Structure 1
C-alpha cells in the first residue's frame, strides 16, 4: 500500500503545475435584477439573490409589454440593470502563476470587480474579453462581481437579450504562457500534394529571462501527430515575444463545405523536462479566392455562396443559447441547401463558429451595424399614439472610443476559424451616404488588415451609387451589395476588376406567418391592418416581399458567376425588428423558417434550387371549408422536370419546369375536399417523388416527434419536440389552434415552448402553448443525470400523446 501511495505522490509531483486549460465556471452564480449599491464589495450580502447557471438571459423571461422602451426593435421585452456575483476558491499553488477570467459575451456595458477591485468596463455586448485576476487574488475564497447595464433603450434594431449570456472561463497558467488568442495559423500555399502551414506564436513571460523550447505539433482528426516543428527561443524578462514557424504538411486533408476536415495545432512551451504551458488551436487547410469573373473559388473549385443571414437568438431560449440549439439551426439551414451564414450584424459566439468549422459552413463575420452615427429615428405606434425614438446604441455612444479595440479583438479571436472567409465591417451604415463613410471605411480596413491579411473584407452597402461616388468600394476586397443586385450587374461592366457579393437580399417568403394564406388582396389588407397595425408601407412590403423576389435574385446569381453568391434575409425568424408590423407582433417575418425552426413555404424554394434530391412542395394546404368550387391558386416548388397535380383521382395536367421563365409552377384548381397529390417526374415521365395533402377533419389527437430521442446527460444538450394537431386519421389539421399542456417526468425539464406565431405573448417558459396553424414546439433538456425523460402532451378533446427521450450519451456527426 505504501508503494502505491508513493507512486501516486510521485505522479502528482510530476504533473505540470499549470495546465493552461480553460476551466468553465458557469455554475453557482448569484443574480438580481435592478441596481444594487456596493454589490461589488467582498462582504455584500447576496443571500436573497437568485442562483443561476450561465449562460443567462434575463430579458427572455418577459413579460412582453407595449410599455417596454425596447419597443418592437427589442421584442417589447424588459432590459435594465442586473448584477452577478460568484465565489472563487484559489489555492496558494495557483497564485504562484497567473489567473485570468474570460467572458465570452455580456450584453452589455459590463463592469467587473474582483474582491472589490474594479478590473474594467466593456460596452460591446458581443465580444470576448479577459481580465488578469492575479494581482488581486488571495488564497481561499475570492468574490467576482459583474454589473450589466442594458438600460439605454431602444438599444438595437433587434432583440439582444440582457446578461452574461455566453460562457465564463478561468485560465490558470504559469508565469510563462501562451496568452489569449496567442496563435495564428495560416496556409499561404495549398494543394492536394502539400500545404505550407505558417504558425505565429506569442509567448508571455512574467518571469526572469529564460530560454525555452517551443514545439508546434499538427494533429489530425484521428489524434495522430502528422508534423512537428521545434524551436529554441529566448524570452526576455516581463515581455511578450512573437515567433514564427513554417511547417510543410504532405497530402493534407483539405477543409471544404462537403468534407470539413480539421486539424489541431498543439503548442507546447517547455524548459528542460518541465512543461510551462500547452495551448491548442483548431484550424483547417484550405485556399479561398474571389475572382472578378469567376466568383468564389474554394480550393480552386468554383462554388456559389448560398447564404443566409442569422441573428444570434434561438427564439424561445433568447440569446443564452446552448450549443445544440446553434447546431440545430445549422442543420436546418444545410438541409435547405445553404452553405454559408452571415452573422448579422455582430460577432458570433465562439461555440457557433466552432460548429461552422465542424459542419463546413462558410462564414461572413460582421462587426458593426452602426459606426459613429446611430440609425435614423423611427416612428412607432403605441396605444398612446405615435412617437419617434432614436437608438441609444453602441454606434452613437461608443463607436468612436472603442471601434479599434473591438474590431481588433474580433479578428484576433476568430482568425483561425477555417469557416470564416470574409470579414464585414458594417451593415447599411448611415455614413456611406456621404464622404465621411469612405474615410471611416478606409480606417476600419487598415485596422483589420493589421491582424489578418488572409481573408476578404466587405461592407453590406445599401447605397452602391454613393459608395461609387465617394470611393468606398475602392478600399474593399469584396464589394457588398444589399438589395441592389441590378446595380451590381451594371457595375460589373463599369468596374471589371471589382469582386461582388450579395451581402443581403430578399428571401422567397411573403410577409406572413408560417401557414397563413391570403388570396383576396383587398380583404387581406383589411385583415392585416386589423391584426398587424403598421405604417402605410404595409402594402408596399406585401407586394415586394413575395417569393418572386427571391426567385429573381437567385436567377441573377446563378446566371452571373461574377456575383460570387448572396445571403438571404433571413434564415430563421428572430425576436424583435417586426418590420413592417408593430404591436402585437414581437418577432420578425423574414425567415425561411419560423421562430421555432419550422419551415415556411419559402424554405422549400431553396431546397428545390440548392439541393439535388428530387422534391416537390405545393401550397397552400387543402382545408378551405366554405370555398367549395372556388378557385384555389396552387403553387409548386420543385427540382423535377415535370409535375402533375391530381385531386381525388382527377388530373389537372402536367407542367414542365423548362417551359416557364419562373422558378415555380402554378395551377388554378377548384376546391374540392379530399386528396391532393403532387407528383414529380423526370423528362421520361418516370415518377421520382410525390407529396400528398389531405383535407383534414376536426382536431382529434396530438402527435409528438423529437429531433433527438437520445441526448447527452450533461444538462446542456437539447431535444426539440414538434407537436402536431392531427385528425382521427393522422392528417395534420393546418388551421388548428388548440391549447396543449405539457408535463415532464424523469431526468429532464422543459426549458422553452413556442409555436412560430409572431404575435403570441405567452411565456416561453410555460408548460403550455396554443398550437399555431397546427404546430407547437417543446424544448427538453436533461437535469444532468442519466435516465429517461417522459414528455406528455394533453389538450381538451384531444387524444394525448407521450414520448420518451433518453438522457445518456448522444451520437451525432457533422
Structure 2
C-alpha cells in the first residue's frame, strides 16, 4: 500500500516592501513599524589606519561626527579591496569589526518601543544610551529588543551596534559583514499581538469551501499584569478588496487563541497563479482598537509520497529547484529587493520553480517575492552544527583549510535559531520544507563512522580517507537531528522537516534519516533506487545536484524522486578558486544576473515555452572566430535548422549524447548565424563590426543595462571597453560585469568605471523620489549614451 504523508496549510505572505515603510507593519505581526535605514554613522575598525575601538563608542553622548554617514542595508566587506592574504572561502575579502550609531526619532505616543533587525553579520551587540540590550551571534537570524526601559524622556536617544566579524573565515562562502538587512522601529502598547505570533492552518479545502484556523498570541508587558478583557477580530479579504471571511474571539493578555474561518469558493495559491488574500487581525480592549496586523495570505496543499514524489494542490509535479546564496556580486549581501525581483523572474523564465535558501534564513523580502511571483522555497537553518567544517583559504579544496566557524555558539543558540526561522517564515505560502542542516554529515568533515572503510558501498563525495576513530562519531548526528526536528514540529506540523545529506551511506547508519520527514541527497543520484528499495517509506529528492543531463534524468525518469536543486542558480562570491577568483561560477546566471549558456541549457530542459539558443566555439585552438567551428543548440524542440546569412549549412545536425542537444560542425567564414527550432523559437548571432557606441536601457527602478554596439546596433561580444557612468538625480550603488576573475569590481574603489564583459555590464542605482534622473555613459573612442528617467 502506498505510503503518503499529507501536509496542508494556509500560509501568509508578510507584506514587506523595501521602498514603502507604511506597508511593512506585518513583518513582526504587531505594532506600527517604521523603517530605520537612513542617517546612520559607521566606523570600520582598522588598526592599519590607526583606528581603534573605544569603550565609550556605545554611549549616547559619544562624539561620532567624524564617522562616515550611510544608509542601510550595508555590507562593509564588499567595499574593501580583495587581497590574496585573505580567505578564498570569503572571496578574498576581509571581515573585522564595525560600529553603527543612530539617533532615534523623538519619542512618540506612550507605550513600548522596540528595535527589530532583519539580520546583522555577525556577533552583534546592540546598545541604547550605553545600555546593552542583547547579543546575537548568528548573522542570519532576525531579532528584536525592547528599547523602552532605557529611553530618555527628555533629550536624544542613541542606538549603537557593534558587529564583530573578526573570525572572517567562519563560513564556506561569502557572508558579508555589517547590518546588511533592514532595521525597523516598532511602536506598540504594553499589551499587543505577539512577535511572529500569528499562524495559519488550512484544515480542509475543495472548490466550494476552505476552512482555516488562525492562531493568535498576545503579549502582556505591563508590570502589574492586571485583568484586561480583549477581543481579537480576524478578516480575510480577497484580491478585489472584498471581505470573504471573518471571525472573532475573546482573549486574555499573554494568551493564545484560535479563530476559525470559512471561505467560499477559495482561490488557491500555486506557481502559475500565486493568488494572495489579505488577512487582518485587530486587537481591542473595551471596544477600542489597541493593536493590528495585516498580512498577505495564500491557500495551498502539499503532499509528499515515497512512491509518487510531491504534489502541490493535489497535482503531482517535479521540483525544478536551484540553490542560492544571498549576495549579488558588487553589492555584496546588501541587495535591494528589486534586484532580487529581476533575478527570480529570470530564474522563473528558465523554468525554475523552487529555491533552496542555502544554507541559512535569507532576507524576509526574498520570501515575499517568492510568494508574489510563485516560487517554492526550501528554508534552511544552518550549514554547521557542533564541530567546524573545513574553510578553504587558498582556493576551493586547495592547500590547508581553516576551522573558524559558527559551531562556537551552536549548543547555546541552535534551538532558538531554528525556532526563530520557523516562527518568522511560517506565514509564507512559498515555504514548503524546513531544512535543519546542510551537509553536516560530510564524511570525516568532521564526523566519521566505520562504514567509511568501504565494504562495497560507494561515495560520490570526498571521504578524506576511511574511518577515523579520532573524529566525532557520526551517531551524534542522529541525536541532534531528532532534537532539531522536535523544535520545528513544536511550532509547525504543516510542512515536512528535511536535511541535505552529503554522506548518505554514513547517515544511513545513524538516526538522522529517520528523524526527518523528507530526505535530501546531495550529489548521490546513484543511491536513489538502492535506498528506495531498502527504505520504502523514505521520501527522497535531490537537495543539491550537478547540472548534467544524467542527474536530471535521475529525477525526470523516476516517479519516486520528486525533484532536484541545482548548485547553483546564480554565481556567488566566496568558495573561490585560487586568487584572483571572486567566487564560484556554478550558476545559471552570472554575478550580474545575466543568463549564461548553462541557463539556456536548463531552460531547454525545464521550460514549458519554446526555447532556442546557440553558441559557437572553435574545434581547434588556433581558430577563434573563423574556420572549423562547432555550433551547439539548446532547444526543447525535436529538430532545428542552422543557417548562415539565410542559407542552410551543409553540415548535418548531430545530437550530443551527454547533453541530448543538437549541434553542427561547420566551416565558418563569416556571416550571421541563425538557428530556427521546429517549435518556432529561434536565436541569432550576427557578425559584428568594430565597437562603435554605447547603448543604455533601464527598468527605471534599480538596473542600468550597458552595451557596446557596432554601427548596426549589434552587441559586440568581444568588446572589453572601460565604461564610465555618471548620474544626476540618482545614486550609483555599483557596476557589475559578471567577470569572476576581475578583482577590480568594487563599488567604493572602482566607483563609476568598469570594463564590460562580452560587451555588457549592469549598473545598480537608487533613484531619488520626485527627481528626474539623468544617466550618461562614456568610453574612449565610442559614442556616448544618455538616458533620462522621469
TM-score bracket, shorter-length normalisation: 0.7 to 0.9
1:393-472 → structure 2 map (5 Å cutoff): 393-395=405-407, 397-430=408-441, 433=448, 434-472=474-512
Task: Measure how far apart 1:586 and its partner are.
Answer: 1.1
Q: Which residue of 2 aligns with 1:535?
A: none
Distance 1:250 1:486, change over 3 A: same
* 1:633 pairs with 2:630: yes
- Counterpart position of 2:90: 74
Q: CA deviation at 1:378?
A: 3.9
Q: Give the match for residue 718 of structure 2.
A: 735
**SS in structure 1 opposite 2:650?**
strand
- Kindly indicate whether residue 542 of structure 2 is the aligned counterpart of residue 505 of structure 1: no
RMSD: 2.1
The Cα of 1:654 is off from its aligned counterpart by 5.8
Query: Which of the residues 604, 611, 621 maps onto 2:607?
Result: 611
Counterpart check, 1:153 vs 2:135: no
Q: For residues 197-596 of structure 1, what are the structure 2 equivalents within 5 Å?
A: 197-205=212-220, 206=222, 207-235=225-253, 240-376=254-390, 378=392, 380=394, 388-395=400-407, 397-430=408-441, 433=448, 434-507=474-547, 549=548, 551-578=549-576, 581-596=577-592
On the 8 A contact 2:30/2:194 being kept in 1, the answer is no
In the other structure, the counterpart of 1:13 is: none
Deviations 1:585-642 (A, max 9, x none): 1121101111001111010112112222222111126999855774222211101121
Q: Which moved more, 1:101-110 or 1:215-224?
A: 215-224
Q: Secondary structure at the match of 2:552?
A: helix
Q: Distance in 2 between matches of 1:86 and 1:627?
A: 56
Describe the superposition over 1:211-270 as per-residue Cα deviations: whole angstroms up to 9, x where unpaired. 1111111122223221111112344xxxx2111122221111111101111122211111
Match of 2:706 among 723, 726, 741: 723
Q: Distance in 2 between matches of 1:122 and 1:798?
A: 51
Q: Who is 2:42 aligned against?
A: 31
Q: What TM-score does the superposition give when structure 2 sets the normalisation length?
A: 0.87
**More deviation, 567-576/224-233:** 224-233
Any gaps of 5 or more consecutive residues in structure 1?
1-17, 508-548, 683-687, 712-717, 807-814
Deviations 1:463-491 (A, max 9, x none): 11112122321111111000111212321
Residues 592-671 of structure 1: matches in 2 within 5 Å?
592-620=588-616, 626=623, 630-648=627-645, 649-652=647-650, 655=653, 662-671=659-668
Report what 2:742 is aligned to.
Answer: 760
Alpha-carbon contact 2:116-2:185 (below 8 Å) kept: yes
Structure 2 spans left out of the alignment, 5+ residues = 1-28, 46-52, 449-473
* 1:173 match: 188
Point out the more displaced range, 763-772 or 752-761: 763-772
* Matched residue count: 716
Question: Equivalents in 1 of 2:190, 2:505: separation in Å?
Answer: 55
| Residues 622, 693 of structure 1: 8 Å contact kept | no
Tell me, what secondary structure is at the counterpart of 1:254? coil
Say which structure, 1 or 2, has more relative contact order (CA 8 Å, 6+ apart).
Answer: 2
Counterpart Cα distance in 1 of 2:654 and 2:544 = 31
Q: CA deviation at 1:730?
A: 2.4
Q: 1:731 to 1:625 in 2, by over 3 A?
A: farther
Structure 2 residue corresponding to 1:110, chosen from 114, 124, 130: 124
The C-alpha deviation readout for 1:16-38, integer Å capped at 9, x for no partner, is xx992111111111111113321
**Comparing 270-279 with 338-347, which one deviates more in the overlay?**
270-279
- CA–CA distance in 1 between the matches of 2:30 and 2:401? 51
CA distance 1:565–1:324, shift in 2 (3 Å) = same
Counterpart contact for 1:641–1:656, Cα < 8 Å: no
Kept in 1: contact 2:229–2:286 (CA 8 A): no
The Cα offsets for residues 31-81 of structure 1, whole Å up to 9 and x where unpaired, read as: 11113321111211111111111111111111111123xx11111122100
Name 1:703's counterpart in structure 2.
Answer: 695
Give 1:662 shift: 4.5
Deviation (angstroms), 1:494: 1.9
Aligned mate of 1:41, from 59, 81, 85: 59
Q: 2 CA distance for matches of 1:656 and 1:247?
A: 59
The answer on whether the counterparts of 1:736 and 1:774 sit within 8 Å (CA) in structure 2 is yes
Shifted more, 311-320 versus 668-677: the winner is: 668-677
Matched, 1:193 2:178: no
TM-score (norm 1): 0.85
SS in structure 2 of the partner of residue 469 of structure 1 = coil
Q: Shift of the alpha carbon at 1:156?
A: 0.8
Aligned to 1:539: none
Contact preservation (8 Å) 1:432, 1:438: no
1:792 aligns with 2:789: no
1:803 maps onto 2:787 in alignment: yes
Decide whether aligned partners of structure 1 residues 230 and 381 sit closer, same or farther in structure 2, where only a CA change above 3 A counts: closer
